[in-house]
Amino acid sequence: MFFFIQFNGDILEIINKILWSIAISIIIINSIYFSIKLKYPQFKIINTIKSIKKSKKNNDISPKDTLVIALSSKIGVGSLSGTALSIHYGGIGTVFWMLLSTFLLSIINYIENALAIIYKEKNISGPQYYIKKGLNNKVLSISYSIIVLILYIFLFSSIQSNTITTLTNETYHINKVLISLIITSATFITITKGIKGISKACNKLFSIMMTMFILLGVLVIIKNLKEIPYIAYLITTNAFNSKSIKGGLISTVIISFQKTVFANEAGVGTSAIISGSTSSNDYHLQAKIGIIQTYFINFIVLLITSLIIITSKTSNLNIINGIELTKEAFSYHFGPFGEQLLLIILTLFSFSTLITIYYYGESSLTFLTKNNKVLNILKYITLISIFIGGIIKATMIWSLIDIFLAMLTIINMYSIYKLKNIIILKLSKK
């Protein structure tokens, strides 16, 4: 039995590496191509911020609301554990490549958000819509929707819930079933209020969780201010020192991009699902929202997480990984309160992700069927996934998440390239 499990684990790892090598290659090629064709909009950050500030708030879902919802959905367990995994597997040099990837990934998010508005139907959109309407490829659009349902409703919901229950149980020894029941109930109350209810919840949660996270990050930076220049030097030199990195330079770049895509989902297409919920038809403005999303996650969330881990001076960078490494770093910096602080942050991160990724599933199912009974069933399936995910052992879930995420990325990036003429025509006008 052990051999069988090990064998399947090895197979999943091989599939994972192959798919992500393809996905990252396509992302890089598309990013460079569109950056040149669209004259590098990701570097016009000042104009982007000004445009978003000028946008008007309305009673429906505004472009600013979609920014908060998108960030809430993306900043979850993956932001903290993905960063730790990247450093664990590729060394601190991966931080350099994670930051550099911002400029390549932001152009993709820029395009996804624009396409969401160009091809949306009644304030609902996503890659499945621009694949069907733009490419006239029904099979590929249906495939994308089905994978979204599997990935987010079953796998991502489970892992977010599992992280909360596991950490709470380890910290306070509260029964996992009780914790999982509370998370499930809170999610149910929120998602029954629809996208407007999700938007209101995200706006409240986002301000609390990001204020807390950034303040903790600033405290760590101030505490280690004298070491920051040397850390920056180490990050840069290690980025090109393939001898000290497992698997060499190419492997490190792939790991960095993979975990960054995992954290900000640029290239996956989920930003387009959220962008489609806005009542605005300004695809230029919505495209700029995509750039801000990527910059915020990479330059604030991922960078702060990286610095918290690196400055902890842990000797376990090559031994433990994921959320355990992040937990050790928090304990180092904040002593006996470290685990509690991380638990609060992760709970807020995970819950905001849970309620927003439900909308990914709802939008995808709406694309497949307009039957209200089926849509109502989705709510209960989501709640069951969250509850079960909170009490089971998350053994191979992460590997499956990586594989399905790579599949979505490949489908989305292929579709974006095929739509290159309409993208250049629409986004070169302004």
Mean pLDDT of successive 10-residue stretches along the chain, which has 430 residues: 47 90 95 96 90 72 87 85 83 91 95 96 93 96 97 93 89 92 94 89 91 95 94 90 58 85 92 92 93 94 93 68 81 90 92 93 94 93 94 81 95 97 89
3-state secondary structure of 319: coil
- Give the model's pLDDT for residue 243: 47
Q: What is the DSSP string of 119-170?
A: T-SSS---HHHHHHHHH--HHHHHHHHHHHIIIIIIIIHHHHHHHHHHHHHH
- Give the model's pLDDT for residue 244: 46
The total of other beta-carbon atoms located within 10 Å of residue 54's CB is 8
Per the CB < 8 A criterion, the answer to whether 392 and 5 are in contact is no
- Give the model's pLDDT for residue 9: 61
Chain-centroid distance, C-alpha 28: 18
The whole-angstrom separation of Cα 86 and Cα 93 is 9
Q: What is the largest CA-CA distance in the chain?
A: 61
**Residue ranges in 38-62 assigned as alpha helix (H):** 45-54
The whole-angstrom separation of Cα 258 and Cα 261 is 5
Identity at 313, one-letter amino acid code: K
- Give the model's pLDDT for residue 241: 72
- Give the model's pLDDT for residue 64: 84
- Give the model's pLDDT for residue 85: 82
- Give the model's pLDDT for residue 334: 94
The whole-angstrom separation of Cα 354 and Cα 190 is 10
The whole-angstrom separation of Cα 365 and Cα 383 is 16
Identity at 303, one-letter amino acid code: L
Q: What is the DSSP string of 212-238?
A: HHHHHHHHHHHHTGGGHHHHHHHHHHH
- Give the model's pLDDT for residue 242: 53
- Give the model's pLDDT for residue 184: 95
User: What phi and psi values does residue 394 have, to the nearest 5 degrees?
Assistant: -85, 80
Evaluate whether the domain defined by 64-423 bears CATH number 1.10.240.10: no
- Give the model's pLDDT for residue 88: 81
The whole-angstrom separation of Cα 390 and Cα 339 is 19
